[in-house]
């Protein structure tokens, strides 16, 4: 053990390659295998929707809070969805105090792009009164334990939390012009598309799925594919690094489609068990 540990620290690349030769990874997974994924929804009662996702060790909690706002001037029939990814100090010793780092900002932007492109929720659905009142959904994702593949975990937590959201019925009182909230009638959001992400690293021309933090550090490039339930692409994200052939990309996409099925099964089961209660 001690010898292996020392080897891992001193020659991490060599250490890793030895595992890959045997078609397996240091944590015992095959190259195309995701870590165990668990999802828990509704644990934060102060939020209008919440979910906690564990992807192996990586843990992300997403809380969604709904507030009122005036719709934007240029599209008066739309509401807002505001995602934010936070990587606090507690999630890993690799982060430093101060304003949100690059990785957190990049992740926030990625989430915003996926939400915009996939139309997971139609922003028109969030409008209450044209030009006057609309919902803002603040979707805050906090990483509690950082062990790689942040985007997959965030995407999953976001989707699960979104499915957990219950919004009260709102009507505008004609006389006073004020919003009246009916607490008894609560409805879930209409979710149009269900985007699920699958991330890969490129390592010595190999594609390795769901990397840990250690693997990410060794990788020469990463790819993230987001698909919806019909197998349509919502996003392909490949920030530089080693090059990728079209065939390899196709492999990624087909793996992402299967991943979507796995996640959907998990979420459906969860929602079902919640309803049964």
Partner 1 sequence: MLTSRTFLKRTRAGAVRKIVREHYLRDDIGCGLGGCALCGGESRPALEARPGGAASSLCPGPHFLLPDTNLLLHQIDILEDPVITNVIILQTVLQEVRNRSAPVYKRIKDVINKQEKHFYSFTNEHHKDTYIEQEKGENSNDRNDRAIRVAVKWYSEHLQKLQMEEKVQIILLTNDRKNKEKAVEEGITAYTCEEYIKSLIANPELVDRLASLNDEGNEIETGRIIFAEHLPLSKLQQGIKSNLYLQGTFRANRENYLEATVWIHGDGEEKEIIIQGLRNLNRAVHEDIVAVELLPKAAWAAPSSVVLHDDENQNEDDVEQEEEKEKSLRTSSSNSMLRPTGRVVGIIKRNWRPFCGMLSKSQIKEARRHLFTPADRRIPRIRIETRQASTLEGQRIIVAIDGWPRNSRYPNGHFVKNLGAAGDKETETEVLLLEHDVPHQPFSQSVLSFLPKMPWSITDQDMKCREDLRHLCVCSVDPPGCTDIDDALHCRVLENGNLEVGVHIADVSHFIRPGNALDQESAKRGTTVYLCEKRIDMVPELLSSNLCSLRSNVDRLAFSCIWEMNHSAEILKTRFTKSVINSKASLTYAEAQMKIDSPSMNDDITTSLRGLNKLARILKKCRIDNGALTLSSPEVRFHMDSETHDPIDLQTKELKETNSMVEEFMLLANISVAQKIYDEFSEHALLRKHPAPPPSNYDILVKAAKSKGLEIKTDSAKALADSLDSAEFPSFPYLNTLLRILATRCMMQAVYFCSGMDNDFHHYGLASPIYTHFTSPIRRYADIIVHRLLAVAIGADCTYPDLTDKHKLADLCRNLNYRHKMAQYAQRASVAFHTQLFFKSKGVVNEEAYILFVRKNAIVVLIPKYGLEGTVFFEEKDKPKPTLLYNDEVPSLTVESTTFYTFDRVTVNIMLDASNVQHQKIRMALVEPKLVGTSVPSQATQLNSNNEPKKKKLKE
Partner 2 sequence: MAGLELLSEQGFRLDGRRAGELRQLRARMGVFAQADGSAYLEQGNTKALAVVYGPHELRGSRGKAPHAQALVNCQYSMATFSTAERKRRPHGDRASAEMSLHLKQTFEAALLTRLFPRSQIDIYVQILQADGGNYCAAVNAATLALLDAGIPMRDYVCACSAGFLEDTALADLNYVEEAAGGPQLALALLPQAQHIALLELNARLHQDHLPRVLDAATQACRHLHALLDRVVREHLRDAAALLGK
* Binding interface with partner 2 (CB under 8 A): 44-47, 50, 57, 59, 61, 63-65, 67, 84, 86, 88-93, 97, 138, 140, 142, 144-147
Binding site partner of 181, from partner 2, partner 1, none, Cβ cut-off 5-8 A by kind? partner 1
| Least distance (Å) between residue 43 CB and partner 2 | 8
Is residue 181 part of the contact set for partner 1 (CB under 8 A)? yes
- Does 234 bind partner 1 (CB under 8 A)? Our answer is no
CA distances (Å), origin 51, targets 116, 162, 170: 21, 8, 25
Closer residue to partner 2 in complex, CB, 85/270 = 85
The token pair that represents 5 in the structure block = 């540990």
| Number of C-beta neighbours around residue 215 at 10 A | 20
Q: Do 40 and 51 touch, CB atoms closer than 8 A?
A: yes
The answer to whether residue 45 forms part of the interface with partner 1 (CB under 8 A) is: yes
Nearest 5°: the CA angle 115, 142, 230 is 30
Q: Does 140 bind partner 1 (CB under 8 A)?
A: no
51 binds partner 1 (CB under 8 A): no
Q: Determine which residue in the list 97, 175, 190, 276 makes contact with partner 1, applying CB under 8 A.
A: 175
Query: What's the min distance (Å) between Cβ of 68 and partner 1?
Result: 6
| 179 near partner 1, rule: CB under 8 A | yes
Distance of CA 145 to the CA centre of its chain: 14
Q: Quote the Cα angle for 112-113-114, to 5°.
A: 95
Q: How far is CA 145 from CA 26, 55, 76, 120, 131, in A?
A: 19, 10, 40, 26, 41
DSSP reduced 3-state for 112: helix
276 near partner 1, rule: CB under 8 A: no
With respect to partner 1, which residue has the nearer C-beta, 71 or 195? 71
Question: C-beta of 164: minimal distance to partner 2 in Å?
Answer: 12
Return the structure tokens found at 61.
């909690």
Residues near partner 1, by CB under 8 A: 45-48, 65-68, 168, 173, 175-176, 178-179, 181, 183-184
């Amino acid at each position: 053990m001690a010898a292996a540990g020392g080897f891992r620290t001193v020659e991490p690349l060599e250490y890793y390659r030895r595992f890959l030769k045997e078609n397996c990874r240091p944590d015992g997974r095959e190259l195309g295998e995701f870590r165990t994924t668990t999802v828990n929804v509704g644990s934060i009662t102060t939020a209008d929707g919440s979910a906690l996702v564990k992807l192996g060790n990586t843990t992300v909690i997403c809380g969604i809070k709904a507030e009122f706002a005036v719709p934007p001037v240029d599209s008066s029939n739309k509401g807002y969805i505001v995602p934010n990814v936070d990587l606090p100090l507690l999630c890993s010793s690799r982060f430093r105090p101060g304003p949100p780092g690059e990785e957190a900002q990049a992740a926030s932007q990625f989430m915003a792009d996926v939400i915009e492109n996939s139309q997971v929720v139609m922003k028109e659905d969030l409008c209450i009164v044209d030009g006057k009142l609309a919902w803002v959904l603040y979707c805050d994702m906090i990483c509690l334990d950082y062990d790689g593949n942040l985007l997959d975990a965030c995407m999953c937590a976001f989707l699960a939390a979104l499915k957990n959201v219950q919004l009260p019925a709102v009507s505008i009182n004609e006389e006073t012009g004020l919003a009246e909230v009916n607490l008894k009638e609560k409805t879930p959001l209409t979710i149009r598309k269900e985007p699920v992400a699958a991330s890969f690293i490129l390592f010595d021309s190999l594609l390795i799925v769901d990397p840990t933090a250690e693997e990410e550090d060794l990788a020469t490039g990463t790819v993230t594919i987001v698909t919806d339930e019909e197998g349509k692409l919502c996003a392909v994200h490949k920030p530089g690094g080693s090059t990728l052939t079209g065939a390899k990309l196709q492999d990624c996409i087909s793996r992402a489609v299967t991943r979507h099925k796995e996640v959907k099964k998990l979420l459906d089961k969860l929602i079902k068990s919640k309803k049964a209660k």
